[in-house]
Structure formats: C-alpha cells, structure tokens
Amino acid sequence: MREDLLREAEAQTQEAQRRNEETLRQRREEVSARYPDIRELLERRQDLIYGSISGMLRGKAPAADLPRAMEEASGEIREALQRRGLPGDYLSPVYDCPLCQDTGFVGETVKARCECVRKRYQNLLRQAIGLRDDGAETFASFRSDVFPDETAPGEQRSQRQTMERLRALCEEWANKYPRQVPRDMVLSGKSGLGKTFLLHAMANRLIEREIPVLLISAYSFVDTARRSWYGQEDGLRELLESEVLMIDDLGIEPLVPNVTIEQLFNLINQRQRAGLATVISTNLNAEELKSRYTERIASRLTDGRICGFIPLRGRDIRNGRM
C-alpha cells in the first residue's frame, strides 16, 4: 500500500466520525430546545447510564434490569419523535459505516482495518493514477457485443471472439499476479481496439487485490525522463520501483534525443532484472517497435519468455460502447 494514501483514507474516516458526531450533537440540541418533554426523556436515559457507571466505580454490579430500562427509555424517545413527525432514529448515532461505526477498525480482540477504509484507499489510488472510479473500466463492465462477430478473411476467430479471449487472458494475469508467467505484458494494436480499457481493467483488479500499481501515459513517462535527465527532479525512481507499472499509448510520445530511447531501455531492463511487472499498451506492432526503439528494447518486449506480446486486430469501435 502507498502509505500516504492509506493515511489519507484513515483521515477521511476520522473526518466522517467527527462530522457524524457533530450532526448528532446538533440534532439533540435542536430537539431539546423545541421539545422539553423529549429533553426530559433524554436526561432520564442519560441518568440511567451515569447511575450504572457510578455504581460500577463503587464496586457495585449494574442493575440486572438496566438493559430493559434502557430499551424502554429509548422506546419512549422514539415514540415522542414520531409524534412530532420526526424519524424514530433521529437521535440515534449516525454512521457512514455501521460495521465499524466510523472507527476504521473491526474486531474485538484482534483489530483489523474496516472495509470502508480499504474502499477509501482504493478510490484514492484510482484518483492518483488517473482511473475512473465509477466502475466503467472493469472486467465486469467489459462488453464484447460492441465488436463485430464476423470472421475476417485470413482470421480463425471473429473480433468479438478474440476480445473475449483477450479479456479472459488479461483478467487471469491480474488475478494471478505475482504468480503469472510471463511477468510482463504488451497489448499491441491500432486505436479503438480496447487496449486502454483492458489496461485499466487490469489496474482496477490489482487495486481491488491491494497490489500497488502505477499507471502513466507514455507522454508522462518522457516528461518524467526528461526532467530526470536534466536534473530537475528524480521522478524515475518511482517508475523503477513501483511493484506494477503500466504505460499507456507507447508510441505517441516524442522521441527526445538522449532521453526517450535510453531511459525507456533503462526502465524496462532494470524492472525486468528486478522481477517487477510492466504492462504496456502501444499502437505499434513488433516490427514498428524495433524500428522506433531499436532491437534492444523490442527484444525485451517481444520475447515470450519474459513478456507476453498480445496483438489486437479488427475494427475501430471508439464510437461504440464498451
């Protein structure tokens, strides 16, 4: 996990707790000021609580009928609220997450982070790497029916069948990581074939599995590499060390002398040597990769032992729905 985002997720949970406590406080003040009889009921119930605590401090066991008395008092408050047209639970504690009651932790003996904190963290990570958080770029939302189901001349499968197969392949990769072989993957094909969608779906699945992932565009990579080359900042370190790095649209970025090709080779080479996963989408085929980036880079992206090279072919479906 990224510690900065985890701390932010925990801070959001604490803020939710403060906000809900303030909401309850304001409601009690409002009702107590408008309805003296309800204020008296609230004070009576509070006296039951204080009396029980005071007795325990003096070594006395709480009254056996305390739970029944508390429930009766709460029932009277609910009925009084409803007579005024208010919800019966208007003065009950307010929680964003009833499971952990906005504490961020569950469990009595062994405390564990609540699912609400995990979801906040995952949303923050999606935002940080530029993913949509509406569930529109996931394997579950993938639709193969936008692809033609006719088999083109020279092909064994229709574009729809091919995309269904590739969706399953990408999902398997994301589910198996870090046990998948090969470790790296390249999605190759012209625009509008679903490369970026699959890349984002893989990233979303990794995030769901709480696996750190960094998603950048090829243009952002070159900008980062240029700044690092000229000593303006060392942004390459994060790219080199990220557990899973995803680069979208390799091939549209500018070829900056002494930067693009050299730093791309350095990035891919070091990550492969370190056993870190890199997933790339590109509009270039194998020969075009070799022509643009040299044999050194192309060989590392097309060698099936270390990188799965997956070609996508067919009709541009950018105007369709996915």
pLDDT in tens, 104-140: 999 988 889 999 999 999 999 999 888 887 878 999 9
* % of the chain at pLDDT higher than 90: 69
The alpha carbon of residue 238 and the mean position of all alpha carbons in its chain are separated, in whole angstroms, by 19
pLDDT in tens, 251-303: 999 999 989 999 999 999 999 999 999 999 999 999 999 999 999 999 999 99
Of 214, 192, 190, give the one whose Cα is nearest residue 202: 214
CA angle 215, 307, 192 (to 5 degrees): 55
Which pLDDT value is given to residue 59?
Answer: 55
Burial label for 161, CB within 10 Å (0-12, 13-18, 19+), is middle
Q: How far apart are CA 295 and CA 289, in angstroms?
A: 8
Query: Domain segments of the chain: what residues?
Result: 3-114, 130-311
Who contacts 113 (Cβ-Cβ below 8 Å, separation ≥6)?
104, 105, 106
pLDDT in tens, 1-57: 688 899 999 999 999 999 999 999 999 999 999 999 999 999 888 887 766 655 555
Q: Which of 65-74, 85-94, 161-170, 215-224 has the lowest mean pLDDT?
A: 65-74
Which pLDDT value is given to residue 322?
Answer: 41
Burial label for 140, CB within 10 Å (0-12, 13-18, 19+), is exposed
pLDDT in tens, 81-110: 999 999 999 999 999 999 999 999 999 888
Which pLDDT value is given to residue 62?
Answer: 54
pLDDT in tens, 135-179: 789 999 999 998 989 887 777 889 999 999 999 999 999 999 999
Total-model pTM: 0.78
CB 288 within 8 A of CB 251: yes
| Helix/strand/coil for 139 | coil
Strand partners, 216: 247
CATH code for residues 130-311: 3.40.50.300
CA angle 148, 150, 154 (to 5 degrees): 120
